[in-house]
Structure 1
Amino acid sequence: MAMTGPFGDDAGDDTLMNEINMTPLVDVMLVLLIVFMVTIPAMQHALKIDLPHVASQPVSTAAQHVDVGVAADGSLLWNGEHIAEDALATKLLAAAAAKPQPELRLHADRNVRYERVADVMARAHEAGITQLGFLTDPQRRP
């Protein structure tokens, strides 16, 4: 007498099973359901906190800058005013000691020698200026 298993008789072992095993899918869905059931009340739970109200104005921290110009003849300008050669070092030291330290914006004429511009940059570095920028005039063409 031939025994038959749960999937039919043993003679057709080579046939494919066309059924999907639903047990793992049901297990995953039950776990997700439990997770959502636990987290949803926690998301809706809120504490009412009475925080103090403060009236304050934002601090304006406008960037300060100092314009140093080198004219075509090599003369120096500090914020548009002509200064002597020896006064540049004292003004740079005073600017480096200021809190917050202003940005040094260097504007050189296109006809001035680069040696003169490099000298001003070296003096600014020696004085302790940490922020140095260059101003250019894009409208002027040769």
Structure 2
Amino acid sequence: MAMNVGSSSGSGDPEVMMDINTTPLIDVMLVLLVMLIITIPIQLHSVNLNLPVGTPPPSDVKPEVVKIDVDAKSVVHWQGTALTSGAELEQKMKMVSELAVQPEVHLRPDKHARYEVVASILAATKRAGLSKIGVIGSEQFIE
């Protein structure tokens, strides 16, 4: 009968254990997981709102609409009238922006108009302080 006492190298030192003890790590992870589950608040799927009761009165005031068109030759039209310069456009926009209630600006560029002209109109509305701007007729760009 043979019995293994000690290491095979012949020295009296015990062998070094190369495996890490993962039991404490798993215990800490489980404790943190339980703490996380307990501390997460229960989320409600409903939002309580206090909404007004009844029907609102009908608005008799129709918003004023300013139509700016850009044709295929990149000529700018204000309410159907062709403008000769960018300064004239900015002057009209400044006049409109000083009204008590700002009108809606509907910009309708043609598909073949130059982008530079349309971008300058948008920049002019920003400089004038107009905030109700809409680009109309975008369905012509769909192929």
* TM-score for the superposition, normalised by structure 1: 0.54
Structure 1 unaligned regions, length at least 5 = 1-56
- Structure-2 residue corresponding to 1:74: 74
| Structure 2 Cα separation of the partners of residues 141 and 122 of structure 1 | 25
- Structure-1 residue corresponding to 2:109: 108
Written as runs of structure 1 = structure 2, the 5 A alignment for 1:1-142 is: 60-85=60-85, 86-136=87-137, 138=139
Q: Which amino acid aligns with 2:105?
A: L
SS of the aligned residue for 1:95 comes to helix
Cα distance per residue 1:51-104 (max 9 Å; x no partner): xxxxxx966110111001111111110011111212101100011111210011
- Structure-2 residue corresponding to 1:32: none
Runs ≥4 in structure 1, deviation > 3 angstroms? 137-142
Q: Please tell me the root mean square deviation across aligned C-alpha atoms, in Å.
A: 2.1
| Structure 2 Cα separation of the partners of residues 99 and 59 of structure 1 | 17
| Structure 2 Cα separation of the partners of residues 126 and 78 of structure 1 | 17
Q: Is the 8 A contact 2:111 2:141 kept in 1?
A: no
SS of the aligned residue for 2:69 comes to strand
Q: Which amino acid aligns with 1:67?
A: K
Offset of residue 139 of structure 1: 7.0
* TM-score for the superposition, normalised by structure 2: 0.54
- Structure-1 residue corresponding to 2:16: none
Offset of residue 138 of structure 1: 3.8
Residues 107 and 99 (structure 1), Cα distance of their counterparts in 2 relative to 1, 3 Å cut: same
How many residue pairs are counted as aligned between the two chains? Answer: 86
Cα distance per residue 1:18-61 (max 9 Å; x no partner): xxxxxxxxxxxxxxxxxxxxxxxxxxxxxxxxxxxxxxx96611
Structure 2 unaligned regions, length at least 5 = 1-56
SS of the aligned residue for 1:77 comes to strand
Cα distance per residue 1:1-20 (max 9 Å; x no partner): xxxxxxxxxxxxxxxxxxxx
Q: Which amino acid aligns with 2:91?
A: T
